[in-house]
Structure 1
Amino acid sequence: MSSVLWALWYILPAYVANASPVLVGGGEPMDGGRNWRDGRRLLGDGKTWRGFFGGIALGTLTGAVQYVITPDYYGTLKVALLLAFLLSLGALVGDLIGSFIKRRVNLPRGAPALGLDQLGFVISAMVFAYPVKTLPSGGILFLLVVTPFVHWGANYLAYRMGWKSVPW
């Protein structure tokens, strides 16, 4: 498999985790409706515990399926699950950081933030996963270039399917 495809294979749990809250989210907001010192919400209604844990679970499950398909890439199931968990957790923590920043600059829920929305989650995912497995610099650069397009395409598809209220 080419290094480009391996890079996409590597980051797939983060992509799944980042997209999953649209489908499995809802319920109690993580910030409990609380505001920060600036009087604005910490994260907003769009960041829920169900979406956070559901995204981590689906991203980690993705890693288990990847291991079944390509066990040699991971070495052991334990490594595959740990990597998928860290990529998923990192993606969702990166998304939370992005939401926190967006609230601080007074962007409403669902408002686009060019760069922050598309790259924050993938950078955070790779940072979290670094101790377990990382990509060569070319793979990282490829993901930083391609992820915004994958993100925009996935969001547009979710919008067209009626899963999101905005196409970004």
Structure 2
Amino acid sequence: MSKLEFKIVEIPEGESRRTVGLSDEDLDLSPHAFKGGEVDLSFYRTLHFIRVNFHVDADVELVCDRSLESYVQPIASDYEVLFKVDVQEETENEDGAIRRFNFSSNTLSVEEEVRDTIMLNVPIKKLHPKFLDADGNPREFETKKFGDVQEETEQVDPRWEKLKKLKN
């Protein structure tokens, strides 16, 4: 049983809270490396549904697109999952999801939602913090030249010169 899987009978009626610490092995974020984190869960249980709100604070090891150096990116995000008895079709959007109860195991799992929430907050352009200024904006990229740089003289093809003379 996963750390993010809970037995329905152990969730008390009304509101309750739990905090789950996650280690490197608890989530698979391929192709990125999960470096651990913490999930704060807030449950609200009634006879007809269980609402789970969670806040994730996690660290993910990424590779910088500019320098190919590894760095750890902190990620924080919130999400809500509503588990209902009479759901015909499961739905989800960027703010939350509606899921069916799993009556066969009497458990509910938010592992997939936690994983997806972290993955959706991984930046598209991965930039090592050393390339960011104090405001978090990318600094100008510096180009370096190695060896002697010779100015290229623009040579015109002699055939073009003859064609220009014919035109005049």
Q: Which has the higher helix share?
A: 1
Higher Cα radius of gyration: 2
TM-score by length of 1: 0.30
TM-score by length of 2: 0.30
With CA pairs under 8 Å and 6+ residues apart, which has the higher RCO, 1 or 2? 1
